[in-house]
Structure 1
Amino acid sequence: MSGAASPTLALPSASPELTERLQQGLVRVDQRVRSVVDHEDTFIAAASAHLTAAGGKRFRPLLTLLTAELGKDCTDEVIDAATAVELTHLASLYHDDVMDAATVRRAVASVNAAYDNSTAILVGDLLFAKASELVAGLGAEAVLIQSQTFVRLCVGQIRDDRPAPEGADPVDYYLGVLEDKTGALVATAARYGAMFSGCPPETVEICRHYGELLGMAFQLADDLLDITSDSAESGKTPGTDLREGVATLPVLYALASTDPADDRLKELLASDLRDDALHAETLGLLRKHEAVEHARMHTDAVARQAQHILDPLGESPALDALRALAVGVARRAG
């Protein structure tokens, strides 16, 4: 298969020495990913590498490498764990695009659009299997963690596709979905780095908790970006979630308003926003609504909680970078 460009590191708070080590680690992970997804069947190889070749942030493997800095060394086991996390994430994207009937991912045609739904599902399954195969070489505890993470990913996706049950608080339900759908895998990424660099169990658990909160902040910031950014800034089409009828945190806060002045916005949010005119009106009203600031404050609070989780570990360049990462992730919304 043809090689993708090496990933670039976006962690401006890191020292030059730490940046260099992380960059080297990301190159190793990228090489490992490309090696694992390759296949003797050229069709399978191309479909498996479709999103890998398109690039991506490599946010999760970066986190694995960064928490490994809290231990002794970036071992081959750390690289395999980071690779498994990235493969699991890629597999989930293949399945997400089928469920969402997406046509574009990472500025290229999504796999379901480039091939078909059946291929996208099966290749997603193949990538999950490849991730599990890697983790099997890391020991029984890693296999259990991978299995539990996969369960949570599936539960989060199933619950995300359904409205909050009658009597449940919609905000609490949504945050619970995010904990499973996004927080679980980011938590595992952070946990693996500490585990396979020889950190004590207490540090591993702190990293797991930090990762879960970081994943939440990451997804909540994405929710805000969908509303507040323009396409030139984010590379995404604004209001995609609105058009698809996804009630993210700002929308849920707006729907909970009892102010009669918000009646028009609530009416629009309950309508079919595939209509361009209604979509534009809704996005305009929502951008000016206090619900956006309320959601931003919640996102910042989750990021601060992630920072404070690290307090028992003291100070180091890696911990400084982890604390800055939490803020950076949350404030991508501007």
Structure 2
Amino acid sequence: MSSLGVSFTDPALETRVRAGVEQVEVQLAAAVDSPEKFVAEAAAHLLSAGGKRFRPLLVMLSAEFGEAEHPDVVRSAVVVELTHLATLYHDDVMDEADKRRGAPSANARWDNSIAILVGDYLFAQASDLVSDLGPEAVRIQARTFSRLVRGQIRETLGPDAGDDALAHYLSVVADKTGSLIATAARFGAKMAGVPLDVQETLTEFGERIGAAFQLSDDIIDVASETGDSGKTPGTDLREGVPTLPTLIALRSTDPESERLRSLLGRPLTDDAELDEALGLLRVHPAMTEARSYVQAEADAANALLAKLPEQPAREALQALCDTVATRLG
């Protein structure tokens, strides 16, 4: 699992987690299949493009605090990953993206209508599977889906006049990213029969570490050099997408930041302006403040782990917190 940045100190744990994630892959392929050839092809499009499977990994690690081998653990991981994949189809339509995981997005390969319908199909498949996990699992999934949609709506509408743009953005990240990662941790623990207090701790951990990973991507988009992170630096700036560093920089009132503030908050389609904005933002105090915020979130997540029984799975979760710090550079 080195691609996920997870350090396993226990070979038996690594073997179990790898086996679990491999089972998820098999069941994912079965879940997206369909007798209709086109539906099967379109639904498997992003699945075939790969991905880190961070959410199934978190399901597996959370289950380690109970009966990790319970078959519902893998099933719940499939539900979470199907839900995640469905949101990617819809996100690419909302963002008018033409690439996803290095491949043409579904909306670029076909069209927006197909991408939306395939996303709906994947949500339906996830709903079908979660119904086998019991009414409480259905309720958790429904509430998670509600948060995902509310987050997307608020992101699309933007903050209301007079709202704090940074607070609005952080709440969107919590709903669009933190909620599903929290559910991954909750499902893994719940399906493994973990005590309720440990379930709650793992759920809160998932929420915090999920937001921290998403926000660290904001920093990487600015700080990385071409090729370092697998994505072109300044992508969010070019598209005018608000991120943690840019929103912090826009709050600054010092005269030295006037030029940077004039560049931020709008798409920078001109290469010269984009390079100028990247240069100014990389040395701006906003980057230090953004790194500190993300580190604080990772530290808060790490502190929660002290409530958990001491075992190799806890060490692996601590390694996820360390990965955030490593990503910040």
When normalised by structure 1's length, the TM-score is 0.95
Shift of residue 10 of structure 1? 4.4
Task: State how 1:136-285 maps to structure 2 within 5 Å.
Answer: 136-285=131-280
Shift of residue 324 of structure 1? 1.4
Shift of residue 70 of structure 1? 0.8
Aligned: 1:35 with 2:27: no
Looking at structure 2, the residues matched to 170 and 72 of structure 1 have their Cα atoms a distance apart, in angstroms, of 43
Deviations 1:42-81 (A, max 9, x none): 1110100001111100000100001001112221100000
* Identity level (%): 52
Q: Which residue of 1 aligns with 2:317?
A: 322
Counterpart of 1:317, as a letter, is: P
Moved more, 240-249 or 183-192: 240-249
**Out of 101, 122, 139, which is 1:127 matched to?**
122
Aligned: 1:74 with 2:100: no
**Out of 88, 91, 107, which is 1:93 matched to?**
88
Looking at structure 2, the residues matched to 9 and 280 of structure 1 have their Cα atoms a distance apart, in angstroms, of 30
Shift of residue 310 of structure 1? 1.9
Does the 8 Å contact 2:295/2:324 carry over to 1?
A: no
Counterpart of 2:311, as a letter, is: S
SS at match of 2:227: helix
Q: Which residue of 1 aligns with 2:326?
A: 331
Looking at structure 2, the residues matched to 71 and 38 of structure 1 have their Cα atoms a distance apart, in angstroms, of 31
Find runs of 4+ consecutive structure 1 residues off by over 4 angstroms.
6-10
Looking at structure 1, the residues matched to 104 and 225 of structure 2 have their Cα atoms a distance apart, in angstroms, of 21
Shift of residue 309 of structure 1? 1.3
Q: Which residue of 2 aligns with 1:54?
A: 49
Counterpart of 1:174, as a letter, is: Y
Deviations 1:6-42 (A, max 9, x none): 9966422442221111111110000000011011111
Does the 8 Å contact 1:72/1:197 carry over to 2?
A: yes
Looking at structure 2, the residues matched to 95 and 151 of structure 1 have their Cα atoms a distance apart, in angstroms, of 15
**Out of 110, 113, 119, which is 1:115 matched to?**
110
Looking at structure 1, the residues matched to 151 and 217 of structure 2 have their Cα atoms a distance apart, in angstroms, of 17
Does the 8 Å contact 2:4/2:54 carry over to 1?
A: no
Q: Which residue of 2 aligns with 1:3?
A: none
Counterpart of 2:135, as a letter, is: A
Task: State how 1:288-303 maps to structure 2 within 5 Å.
Answer: 288-303=283-298
Does the 8 Å contact 2:241/2:265 carry over to 1?
A: no
Shift of residue 280 of structure 1? 1.4
Moved more, 156-165 or 207-216: 156-165
Shift of residue 247 of structure 1? 1.4
